[in-house]
A and B are shown apart, each in its own frame.
Chain A
Amino acid sequence: MNEQTMELGHGVKALAGRLIPYFLAVAASFVAAGIFIAAMGFDVPKAYATILFTSFRTPNGFVQTLLKFVPLLLQALAFTVPLAAGKFNIGGEGQLIVGAIGATAVGILFAGLPLPLLLPLVILAGILFGGLWAAIPAWLLYRFGINEILTTVMMNFVSFSLIDYVATKIWRDPAAGHPMTVPIGAGGELPLLIARPPLNTGILLALFVAFVVYVYANRTPGGYELVATGANPRASRVYGIDVRKMFLLSLIIGGALAGLSGAIEVAGVQHRLIEGLQSNFLQMGIIIGLIARGNVLAVPFVAFFIAVLEVGASALQRTMMIPVEMVFIVEALVLLFVLLSDLVRRR
């Protein structure tokens, strides 16, 4: 008992110790970005206010932020789960696209089905296709020991052509100028949580999945083996864990999570397959996963923060003509400072 209360007090202190470097990192990167913005001749306080508060000023801004948050959270988890096993999944983009293709295919082929049937099928197709797309590099790693960074990236490039093929050749919407498919059946659309501004129920799904991933990684034997593999593969092998199988599994789970994000983009946001729907979610997801240092519990919070930055950055481009890529630099700086703070603590 005594030990537990001590642990609790220690836990609070540890949490504070963990959070302080984050705040310092964010502050430092804002200062650095501020210097850059000032040097370009822009109004720095106004830029800060825009980037931080756009999400909270209007209901529309907040809903925009939540809509960004969903794919970012899932992409970050798609990177974090394999990372926990010590593997780098850089293929979340392709897995999202192929998941979206799967979801769209089911949504179009079975367009007549009612919602209770079609919606689960659409979501499951996304998860399945994303998982299968990741299974290719995962198997190559398992069977031949091929570096997964390279193969997952290559699969992204393959998926760009695949989505182009589906959106221009198979189910092309002839009325649209930009390559996109015809809409999926109405039964495949995620119901709305809020009608105006429209927010779909994908966010509930994403949060639920994040919770499941947390439980899996922290409270189940399988998850324990996964984390152990990442922490020390050699010791895990001695202990009897099939390390290579854990690599395989972690990458496929990552692909399934990314595929789910694709299905939600289709079923919740676009209601069809549109070329470019993957946006830059992959890069953001990886940055989030790295900032969270692979901690599944921290991922949703970091993802929300990055979503706020992203929405703020779009506003920055609209109102102040500061290129949206600026936020990329800020995020990379946050990551760098977080990593550096790690180093300072180690000394």
Chain B
Amino acid sequence: VGQFEIQIVNFARLVMLALVPYVLAGQGTMLGGRTGLFSVSQEGVMLVGASVGFLGAYLYGSLVYGLLLAMLAGALFGLALAYFTTTLKMNQFVIGLALFFFGLGLSTLFYKFVIGVTLQPPLIPTLRDLPIPGLSQIPILGDIFFNQNWLVYFTILLSIFLYYLLYKTSFGLELRAVGENPRAADSLGVNVSLMRYATAIVGGMLMGLAGAYLPMVYTGTFTEGMVQGRGWIAIALTFFGGWSPHLILLGALFFAGVEVLALRVQVGGLGVPYQFLLMLPYIATILVMILAFKWIKAPAFLGQNYDRERRTLA
């Protein structure tokens, strides 16, 4: 096997690794959006997930505890979003921003209260690779797809499951109807509020999980602002993926690819100042948005609250 091929395989492996937080946060965004809930608090929820996930793993000595705590925290944020927007009918963007700030502050606050200020950051062990027997032996593909940590497998399976749920079941049809035309869904007996609460909470859990992935796979510790815009990029990804689970998974390849590229080339050294490489993911996101907004149709009721007692939809 040539040097070049090894590099390609390595690159692809890293892309699969970097894919996870984008896809998880993207699917979480998609779920809420499909019922009309447009969250903009991803970055904050992911930060809390990263903080709580790290602290849980550190205090209880188990990554699973950390992941569960991060999901619980994310669920609470989802619950809050649903309550303020669906029950109290407050502006989704304003509540989303408020929750983003809450998460921003809470994540650091939790860390400082539990750990305090230390010279050396405390570390947790990072997630180990879990080669799948048999499949991981396949040349090239085995290394890329079947020799990863279990959250990579989980993310892919989750995306497939969500695709099935949304497009192949009557429940999925009802769910999508809520985001397209809640009045029609309501008149057919679909519980619009319940759907919104459910997708907000599950979506929040996925965002919390996406955040917890960062300390558990990359750094082994929590640092302020460590999500580095991935939460915001996940929103772009969701638009790019046309609010469909399978396309979000595919679209994330692009964002993960750019992220890995920016870091790899930086290490490789190309004469370009590294600052310009670090800009790449964000500029790429903006460019992708130009494309996405040309041919993507978002759920018709995205970002709006449904009030069954009001006569008009607008």
Contacts and interface: CB of A to CB of B under 8 A. Distances in A.
Given A154-B229, A161-B278, A335-B98, A149 B109 contact: no
Nearest to B40: A149
Nearest to A328: B105
A145 B109 contact: no
Interface centre among B236, B282, B293 (most CB of A within 10 A): B282
Contacts of B286: 140, 146, 151, 154-155
A290 B94 contact: yes
Interface in A98-147: 140, 144-147
A173 interface: no
Interface residues of B, number: 39
Given A88-B93, A283-B104, A158 B112 contact: no
Contacts, number: 106
Interface stretch (A57-65, A162-170, A200-208): A162-170
A62 B290 CA distance: 47
Contacts of B106: 325, 329
A164 B266 CA distance: 15
Contacts of B283: 154, 158
Contacts of B314: 234
Interface in B277-292: 278-279, 281-283, 285-286, 289-290
Contact of A144 (B88, B90, B294): B294
B303 to A, nearest CB: 10
Nearest to A157: B282
A326 interface: yes
A213 interface: no
15 contacts: A144-B294, A149-B93, A154-B232, A154-B282, A154-B283, A155-B282, A157-B229, A161-B275, A161-B278, A162-B279, A325-B106, A326-B109, A328-B101, A339-B98, A343-B88
A287 interface: yes
Contact of B279 (A140, A158, A168, A169): A158
Interface centre among B233, B239, B286 (most CB of A within 10 A): B286
Contacts of B233: 154
B94 A339 contact: yes
Interface string A47-72: 00000000000000000000000000
Contacts of B282: 154-155, 157-158
Given A157-B229, A339-B98, A146 B279 contact: no
B90 A140 contact: no
B2 to A, nearest CB: 34
Interface size class of A (residues with CB under 8 A): 35 or more
Nearest to B285: A154
B188 to A, nearest CB: 29
B93 A153 contact: no
Interface of A: 40, 88, 90, 140, 144-147, 149-151, 153-155, 157-158, 160-162, 164-165, 168-169, 234, 283, 286-287, 290, 323, 325-326, 328-329, 331-332, 335-336, 339-340, 343
Nearest to A323: B112
B293 A146 contact: yes
B276 interface: yes
Given A40-B113, A287-B101, A329-B106, A162 B293 contact: no
Contacts of B95: 339
B134 interface: no
Nearest to B91: A339
A328 B112 contact: no
Interface in B75-122: 88, 90, 93-95, 97-98, 101-102, 104-106, 108-109, 112-113
Contacts of A343: 88, 90
B235 interface: yes
Contacts of B268: none
B105 A290 contact: no
A339 B97 CA distance: 13
B269 interface: no
A265 to B, nearest CB: 20
Contacts of A145: 293
